Chains A and B, each alone.
Chain A
Amino acid sequence: MRIPCPFCGDRDASEFVYRGDAAPVRPQTDEGFFDYVYLRDNPAGPMREHWHHAQGCRNWLVVTRDTRDHTIHGVVLAREASR
């Protein structure tokens, strides 16, 4: 599998570290932390995920990957995605 890093270009997946679903947002108040920490959807289809280009530019990325066939539909820098 290859991931097109917006900073480094098309790179081998072994350079990246997987974190998981990019959807949960850290709550602003004390409510909702349980869901944020523990509850995850497991969709069959496109999913926005956090990947860290640990062996490259060290950017956190939001990768949209189809969980059924690993097709990558898009990659953006996480810092830009969360703005």
Chain B
Amino acid sequence: MNRLATGGLVERDKPLRFSFDGRAMTGLTGDTLASALVANGVALVGRSFKYHRPRGLLTAGPEEPNGLVTLGQGAAAEPNTRATVVPLCEGLTATSQNRWPNLRLDVLAVNQLAAPLLGAGFYYKTFMWPSKAWEKLYEPAIRRAAGLGALSGQPDPDAYDRGHAFCDLLVIGGGPCGLAAALAGARAGLRVILADGDLRLGGGLLSERRRVDGLAGADWAEQAVAELAGLKAKVLTRTTVFGVYDGSEYGALEELTSGGARQRLWKIVARRCVLASGAIERPLVFTGNDRPGVMMAGAVQTYLNRFAAVAGRRVTVATSTDSGWSVALDLLAAGVEVAAVVEARAAAPSAAAQAARAAGVQVLTSAHVTKARGAQLSGVEVAQAGGAVQRVACDVLAMSGGWSPAIGLGANLGARPAWSDAIQGFLIQSPPPGLAAAGAAAGRFDLAEALRDGDQAGRAAIEGLGLRAPDTPAPSAEPQDSAVASPWRTPQKAAKAFIDFQHDVTVADVDLATREGFVSVEHLKRYTTLGMATDQGKTSQLNGHAALAAATGKAIAEVGTILSRPPWLPVAIGAFAGHHRGRHFRPERRTASHDWAAAQGARFVDAGQWKRAQWFARPGESDWLTTVNREVTATRAGVGVCDVSTLGKIEVFGPDAGALLDRLYINTFSTLAVGKVRYGVMLREDGFVLDDGSVTRFGEDHFYVTTTTLNAAKVMQHIDFARQVLWPELDVQACSATEQWATYAVAGPNARALIQRVSLDIDLANAAFPPQAAAKVRWLGAPGRLVRMSFSGELAYEISVPARLGEAFVRALFEAGQGLGVTPYGTEALGVMRIEKGHPAGAELNGRTTAHDLGLGKMMSTKKDFIGRVMAGRPGLTDPDRPRLVGLKALAPNDRLRAGSHLLTLGAEARTENDQGYVTSAAWSPMLGASIALALLRRGPERYGEHIRLHDPVRGPEVLAEACAPTFFDPAGERVRG
């Protein structure tokens, strides 16, 4: 075991059992999976992406490139999970990735032998011939060989929650700086949200042995969190802010532990934001720097101080900053053997160096590690200024190449970070509105400085919101002896010196890319894939750009860095989808009598969000056509009832209501008499048909408009646009009433008899209530509306009752109609009957047809202006050669006409230029005993009687049909007047 007997923020009396690759292990409460693995002496945790090199943990935080594992198994398995951010829990099972048959013996490690062939862009170069082999052979093989964890391939069994939050101040990061900022804000009464990816707040305070306000760092953090809770600040632990969006919106992902959902996606709107995301330590680049045992110095320190775990027995520290020395001293204080400190600078910090020497540590200045030895680290080679190389035996190398501010979020909205010589790193120059970086994220690395900076950032937010900051002092700490700025070394040009650990990009790859001309940072990224993996180059980006700068002879400030886009950390698609899955993907709208229809055997079809009854199968009816034929025949012979509640309904009120409708429709409504209904057609301003429907006038100032089901929202918007934007001077209001009314079409020769049996208290005789009549009625004391209009071609009425009475009304209708053979019919029968009557519907109103095309040109008023009038008069839209609406009737009784078929003249070759139009709607007409269709045919109305070929290369052989007027049934329209 690599666990120290004392120290750390772990609970030794609360052990937790877990397994890694099937091996049972024990960790402690307070551990992460990574720290538990370190404590259990597990050095090898994964295999690298391309070369399958053995890899160990590099870091102890969310930036981890190597320690990716799959948690759990089966459908709930979570691949590519960073072991460094997973709190250990009882029974956790983790599995390593990208190896076969197992982690120790990985067959594909042979890839390392082929490394010279697998350099940057290798797949563009090596696998070029023959070209067909790419898809079938090379790509699948490469994909199998390279990669990280695999998805289960099963539906995600987890639930995901969604949260929305609003605050005055969002603090990203719960380290010392973030806590100071949050405290300042909360003390001034701001609504504060503090979000941190860690389970425990404190950030670096948990890793380092520093004191704040006289308290141990971790204790101070705990006290700060308690104060924040008392001030009603919202503290979100295990919550990573992953993106900054327009309008001061922030996306965050919260990992949930207990019951219910797996994660919660937060959308946080914050008036001010302090980015206190800290800094990420930079690896040193030398041969074999990816060997298990080579770790970041800060990580060694975190495992030591927070988790009381040491990754080995004998540690060498290689550093170019003071922070490496604090790691060495912490190790010595804990009784861990430190073999040497390899200091890149000419002079080591004197006090630290003295203490180290006194403990028997070899101190090497102007020195750097040139090579890591052993598959599992057994020692390092160190070169000193004079060129002398010596070996140092060790099983852990703690390396520190300085720190890079973690500014990715600050650059999300497109601001390019700028290089700072002072801190040898990139900083945000023009942050998004309302956001300010503070502490290490702003290059202020020292603890004392970060605390002060966080406090000041909090105060700036308070004052920015027009409030007064309280007089409480900022938290304080002893400043460190010397400045943190690091004279930072460019990467060595050496073999197998890794820059991007997760994507296996080496210095040699960067050099190759440079030689081949990929000298912009963005090109370098895409060509070498540097920084493109799940870690998005958090540890590699800067070293990569430094290598590019070295290779091109430029300064790193000139080379620049890449833009950072959300998400900062991987976010599962499921988290974005949230509850919107399966049946909840979008709302489902049901009409008032849905349940009644279901009980009648309805099969439902989607019409937008609506569920509409498609047909009502009866026992013994084995195919839908039998059912639909029965519904049509019963309606035309007796009476049928169809639920048409889904049609859009709009109430239009006001003295200028008629004037507005005149401008919206091609025909005139201001002259419509009260108590009458009229069919109307609307155009778009470009002259094509937008929608059709009926308009009823119930009063001088009151019209009632219906739209097609699918266009209800669009037409409502169109009417609002017309009355608010185009003609605001008109005194007219409009309001959607689609959901307020349940509407039923009652059609057939017995329709009048049926309606007379439900007590609507109205005279329905032809003279009193002729075709196109409309009236307000009452049913059981409730308001209702009765309109005599027909879509089926039968004597028909549409009755509306308040939606809450819809089911009761339809039950009353069917009870009353028992002796009349009343039959429910669905959208299929409705479609058959309207095709038999030649009424255009959705398939004809397809956005590409004009009123003229549909045979409705004569409806266009020449006495008034209306939307679309001018553009509908364009030559192209009035060309007689355009395809226009006709009927088609199959010549052979058994032939079936199909919608979508293209029309050809007899003898013409089936080529685009011979296309004469296409079939829009087709149906079997039980009345005619034939397959019929509506179609758009060039010069259609001039070609009645002509035989036309229906060409359908996808579904079937050609069939012949005769063109005819698009009214197949009762062309004189006598039945409507019955």
Bound Cα distance A79, B248 (Å): 29
Interface string of B782-816 (1 = CB under 8 A from A): 00000000000000000000000000000000000
- Residues of A contacting B248 with CB < 8 Å? 2
Determine the interface band of chain B, counting residues with CB < 8 A from chain A.
Answer: 20 to 34
Q: In the bound complex, what is the Cα–Cα distance between A19 and B725 (angstroms)?
A: 12
**Which residues of A lie under 8 Å from residue B686 when comparing CB positions?**
37-38
| A-side contacts of B414, CB under 8 Å | 69
Interface membership of A73, Cβ < 8 A: no
Q: Are A79 and B725 in contact, with the CB atoms below 8 A?
A: yes
Task: Output the nearest chain B residue to A71 by Cβ-Cβ distance.
Answer: B433
Can you list, as one digit per residue, whether each of B712-732 has a CB less than 8 Å from chain A (1) or not (0)? 010011001100111011000
Q: How far is the CA of A42 from the CA of B714 in the complex (A)?
A: 25
Per-residue CB proximity of B260-278 to A under 8 Å, as 1/0? 0000000001000000000
Q: Which of A39-54 contact B (CB under 8 A)?
A: 50, 52, 54
The one of B247, B269, B724 in contact with A70, judged by C-beta atoms closer than 8 angstroms, is B247
For residues 58 through 83 of chain A, which have their beta carbon under 8 Å from a beta carbon of chain B?
58-60, 69-72, 77-80, 82-83
**CB of B588, distance to nearest CB on chain A (Å):** 18
Is A33 in contact with B870, judged by CB distance below 8 angstroms?
yes
Interface of B is mostly: mixed
Which residues of the other chain, A, contact B725 by a CB distance below 8 angstroms? 50, 60, 78-79, 82
Are A70 and B728 in contact, with the CB atoms below 8 A? Answer: no
Please pick, from B413, B685, B717, B720, the residue contacting A37 in the complex, using a CB distance under 8 A: B685
**B685, A79: Cβ atoms under 8 Å?**
no
Give the chain A neighbours of B245 by CB distance below 8 A: 1
- CB contact under 8 A between A60 and B247, given known A17-B717, A37-B871: no
Bound together, the chains give a CA A36 to CA B686 distance in angstroms of 10
Q: A37-B685, A60-B720, A60-B724 are in contact. Are A2 and B247 (CB under 8 A)?
A: yes
CB distance from A31 to the nearest CB of B (A): 9
Closest beta carbon of chain A to B563's beta carbon, Å: 14
A-B Cβ contacts below 8 A, count: 59
Inter-chain CA distance A53–B717, complex, in Å, is 10
Q: A1 to B247, Cβ gap below 8 A?
A: yes
**How far is B412's CA from A69's CA once the two chains are assembled, in angstroms?**
12
Which residues does chain B contribute within 8 Å of A70, judged by CB atoms?
246-247
Which of chain A's residues have a CB closer than 8 A to the CB of B871? Answer: 33-34, 37
- Closest residue to A30 on the B side, CB-wise? B870
CA distance A2 to B245 in the complex (A): 10
In the complex, A14 Cα to B717 Cα: how many Å? Answer: 16
Determine whether the beta carbon of B246 is less than 8 Å from that of A1. Answer: yes
A52 to B724, CA, bound (A): 11
Asked if residues A2 and B726 are in contact (CB atoms below 8 Å), the reply is no
Most buried by A among B413, B716, B725: B725
Interface residues of B in 653-693 (CB under 8 A from A): 685-686
Q: Please determine whether A54 and B713 come into contact, CB atoms closer than 8 angstroms.
A: yes
A19 and B716 alpha carbons, distance in the complex (Å): 14
Q: Cα distance A34–B870 when bound, in Å?
A: 9
Complex alpha-carbon distance, A83 and B728, angstroms:
7
A-side contacts of B721, CB under 8 Å: 19, 50, 52, 60
Question: CB-CB < 8 A to B729: which residues of A?
Answer: 83
Chain B hits for A17, CB < 8 A: 717
* Contact of A59 with B724 in the complex, beta carbons under 8 Å: yes
A25: nearest chain-B partner, CB-CB: B726
Interface string of A1-23 (1 = CB under 8 A from B): 11000000000010001010000
B394-436 to A contact mask, C-beta < 8 Å, 1/0? 0000000000000000000110000000000000000001000
Which of the residues B247, B717, B726 comes within 8 Å of A54, measured between beta carbons?
B717
Complex Cα spacing A27 to B869, Å? 12
* Docked-complex contact A36 and B724, CB < 8 angstroms: no
Q: Which residue of B lies closest to A54 (CB)?
A: B717
Task: Give complex CA distance A78, B433 in Å.
Answer: 28
Complex CA distance for A5 and B446, rounded to whole angstroms? 45
B726 touches A26 (CB 8 A): yes
Interface residue from B269, B413, B713 paired with A2 (Cβ < 8 Å): B269
User: What's the least CB distance linking B879 to chain A, in Å?
Assistant: 17
Of B249, B413, B685, B724, the contact of A69 (CB 8 Å cutoff) = B413
Q: Given the complex of chains A and B, what is the CA–CA distance between A78 and B726 in angstroms?
A: 9
Q: Once the chains bind, are B720 and A69 in contact (CB under 8 Å)?
A: no
Interface centre among A1, A72, A80 (most CB of B within 10 A): A1
Contacts of B713 in A (CB 8 A): 54
With a cutoff of 8 Å between Cβ atoms, the chain B residues found around residue A13 in the complex are 247
User: What B residues does A69 contact at CB under 8 A?
Assistant: 246, 413-414
Do B249 and A2 touch across chains, with their CB atoms under 8 A apart?
yes
Which chain A residue lies CB-closest to B245?
Answer: A1
Using a CB-CB cutoff of 8 Å, which residues 592-637 of chain B contact chain A?
A: none
Contacts of A72 in B (CB 8 A): 247
What mask results when residues 869 to 883 of chain B are scored 1 for a CB within 8 Å of chain A, else 0? 011000000000000
Residue numbers in B under 8 Å from A37 (CB-CB): 685-686, 871
Residue from B685, B717, B724 within 8 A of A78 (CB atoms): B724
Contact B717 A82 (CB under 8 A): no
Q: Are B724 and A79 in contact (CB under 8 A)?
A: yes
Closest 10 CB pairs of A and B: A2-B247, A79-B728, A70-B246, A1-B246, A33-B870, A79-B724, A60-B724, A78-B725, A1-B247, A30-B870
Given contacts A2-B248, A50-B725, 14 further A-B contacts (CB under 8 A): A2-B269, A17-B717, A27-B870, A30-B870, A33-B685, A37-B871, A58-B720, A59-B720, A69-B413, A70-B247, A71-B433, A79-B725, A80-B728, A82-B728
Offer 12 A-B interface pairs, CB within 8 angstroms, sorted by A: A19-B721, A26-B726, A50-B721, A52-B717, A52-B721, A54-B717, A59-B724, A60-B720, A60-B721, A60-B725, A69-B246, A69-B414
Which residues of B come within 8 Å of A, CB atoms?
245-249, 269, 413-414, 433, 685-686, 713, 716-717, 720-721, 724-726, 728-729, 870-871
A interface vs B, CB < 8 Å?
A: 1-2, 13, 17, 19, 26-27, 30, 33-34, 36-38, 50, 52, 54, 58-60, 69-72, 77-80, 82-83
